[in-house]
Each structure stands twice: as structure tokens, then as C-alpha cells.
């Protein structure tokens, strides 16, 4: 968990292993759609390998060139941008099954940073050969657009939260979202989610100060809807949390993308 360098240089990532897509840890999750052998074989051609990053590693640095696309296999990460005066906004939390790299400009300049929150295993694809997908496998190209489109919806939802919900609602909404996504990815166990997210992370994602984030979390715990202990998020009253969050129908993630 700590032998990897804090900052991983470009080029080949820290560690490599070659798994077959068929035995990909994501393939067992009911949240994802199974894929045909031939589709898996096709995707395999673009896979450069797998990389393992230590907790805290900076996988992608805003403004730097990146020739990789990733699918997260294990672990949590954050996607973020910082203003030149240092203020940081976390764009979203990244979990197993999330695909990363579309947001990057065509020229390969990352427009955001990506940091590992826990040890993180990713499947690495070659950006240079991205174009070949469209040339050779229309279905997968379609799928990619679809993935991007869903990502758009997710960001729309964040924008609504940041713009319209107050501190309590916003915090509740984020927590519920994380919990439900964690659930989909098979990370929860009877109401508990291992939670490698600090209050500072939450603050940076919610656009709130650390102090106010703390007080808001405290309030949610006093209300008895959640319990946040060291790195463990216990959801006590999901309906109530959804109520507080002003959760909307459309905020639900409608799943079923292929697991590649």
C-alpha cells in the first residue's frame, strides 16, 4: 500500500499484470452487462495492461499529456480541477467500473487530475488507437458515446446539486449517491460502505468549507440517518436520507453498460 512512488511518472505505470477480460473482477457484478466473447476479444486488443497505483498516487495531472484511457477495476479515486489560486473542486468520485479519459481533450491534454484515494487497479487502454474502435467495431463505438452520454447526465445532476441544494441537502445527496454507487459495484456489506473519503474531500466536492462540512455531517449523524466512523460509512436510514437530499427520480443511475 505504500511502496509505490507518491507521484507516478508518465510512461509505463507502476505495475503490470495481464488478466483476461473474462475474469475481470467487474464481470461478476450484476450492475454491468455481460459481453460476448468476441467483443471481449476485440477490446483486449486495445488493452495495454493493468496498472496498480498506491493510495495517494497522482494518476493524471491536469494539463499534462496522457495517452491512456482507463477503466477502474478496484479502488476509489477522485477527479478534480484546481484554480490557479489553489482552490480545488472535486468533479466526482471514481469507483470500479468507471471509465476515465473521455473528458480529456483530443490533443490528449488532461483537463482534470485523477488521484487514487485507495490503492487502485486500472485497466489501461491506448488512446492513440482509440480511433480504431470506431473503424472496426461500430457497436463498441456506439457504446462509448453512450457511456459519455451517461456521464453527461451525472454531471448535470451535480450541477443541480451545487446550484440549488443547500449544505444539508447537498451533503445528503452526495453521500446517498456514493452509497448507492458503491452498492452497485458490490462494495457494501449490510448497510456499510468502506469509505476512504475524508471530510476535506467531501468539502471540495460539495463546494463547502471544511468546517461547515464537518458540522453538516455531524448534524446528519445526530439525525440518526448515517454513521460515519473512521473510513466506514454506515447508512442507517436510507429513505430518510433520500428525503433530506431531495433525491429525484432521475438521479438514479440507470445501469447496464458493458463491464469493459
Partner DNA sequence: CGCGACTTTGAGGAATTTCAATAGGCGTGG
Partner DNA sequence: CCACGCCTATTGAAATTCCTCAAAGTCGCG
User: Which grid cell is 18?
Assistant: 495481464
By CB under 8 A, name the one of 67, 103, 214, 221 that touches a second copy: 103
* Binding partner selected for residue 225 from DNA, a second copy, none, CB under the kind-specific 5 to 8 Å limit: none
Q: Does 240 bind DNA (CB under 7 A)?
A: no
State the number of binding residues for a second copy (CB under 8 A): 53
Under the binding rule (CB under 7 A), the answer on residue 223 touching DNA is: no
Q: Using CB under 8 A, pick the residue from 14, 15, 160, 210 that binds a second copy.
A: 160
Question: Which member of 12, 41, 159, 211 binds a second copy (CB under 8 A)?
Answer: 159
Three-state DSSP class for residue 88:
strand
Single out the residue of 43, 123, 187, 206 in contact with a second copy (rule: CB under 8 A). 206
* Residue 259 neighbours by CB under 8 Å, 6+ apart: 24, 26, 27, 29, 32, 33, 34, 35, 97
208 binds DNA (CB under 7 A): yes
Binds 65, which of DNA, a second copy, none (CB < 5 to 8 A, cut-off by type)?
none
Q: Kindly state whether residue 207 participates in binding DNA, applying the rule CB under 7 A.
A: yes
User: Of 172, 190, 186, 196, nearest to 234 (Cα)?
Assistant: 190
The secondary structure of 127-193 as a DSSP string is GGGHHHHHHH-HHHHHHHHHHHHHHHHHHHHHHHHHHH--HHHHHHHHHHHHHHHHHHTT--BTTEE
Q: Quote the CA–CA distance of 158 and 152 in Å, as a whole number.
A: 10
Cα distances from 68 to residues 10, 52, 184, 188, in angstroms, run: 10, 14, 26, 30
Residues lying near DNA in the complex (CB under 7 A) are found at 166-168, 198-200, 207-212, 214-215, 217-218, 228, 230
By CB under 8 A, name the binding residues for a second copy: 62-63, 81, 83-85, 87-89, 91, 102-107, 111-112, 131, 134-135, 138-139, 141-142, 144-146, 148-153, 155-160, 162-165, 204-207, 246, 248-250, 254
Amino acid at each position: 500500500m505504500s511502496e509505490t512512488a507518491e507521484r507516478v511518472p508518465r510512461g509505463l505505470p507502476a505495475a503490470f499484470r495481464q488478466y483476461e477480460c473474462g475474469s475481470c473482477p467487474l464481470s461478476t457484478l450484476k450492475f454491468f452487462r455481460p459481453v460476448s466473447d468476441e467483443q471481449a476479444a476485440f477490446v483486449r486488443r486495445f488493452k495495454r495492461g493493468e496498472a496498480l497505483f498506491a493510495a495517494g498516487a497522482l494518476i493524471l495531472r491536469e494539463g499534462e499529456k496522457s495517452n491512456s484511457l482507463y477503466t477502474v477495476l478496484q479502488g476509489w479515486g477522485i477527479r478534480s480541477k484546481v484554480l490557479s489560486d489553489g482552490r480545488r473542486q472535486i468533479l466526482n468520485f471514481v469507483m470500479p467500473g468507471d471509465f476515465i479519459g473521455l473528458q480529456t481533450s483530443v490533443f490528449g491534454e488532461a483537463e482534470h487530475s485523477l488521484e487514487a484515494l485507495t490503492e487502485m487497479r486500472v485497466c489501461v487502454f491506448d488512446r492513440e488507437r482509440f480511433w480504431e474502435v470506431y473503424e472496426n467495431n461500430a457497436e463498441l463505438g456506439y457504446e462509448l458515446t453512450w457511456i459519455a452520454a451517461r456521464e453527461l447526465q451525472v454531471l448535470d445532476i451535480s450541477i443541480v446539486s451545487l446550484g440549488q441544494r443547500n449544505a444539508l441537502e447537498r451533503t445528503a445527496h452526495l453521500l446517498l449517491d456514493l452509497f448507492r454507487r458503491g452498492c452497485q459495484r458490490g462494495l457494501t456489506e449490510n448497510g456499510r460502505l468502506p469509505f476512504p473519503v475524508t471530510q476535506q474531500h467531501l468539502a471540495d466536492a460539495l463546494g463547502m468549507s471544511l468546517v461547515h462540512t464537518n458540522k453538516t455531517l455531524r448534524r446528519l449523524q445526530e439525525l440518526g440517518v448515517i454513521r460515519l466512523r473512521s473510513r466506514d460509512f454506515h447508512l442507517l436510514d436510507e429513505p430518510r436520507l433520500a428525503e433530506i437530499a431531495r433525491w429525484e427520480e432521475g438521479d438514479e443511475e440507470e445501469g447496464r453498460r458493458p463491464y469493459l
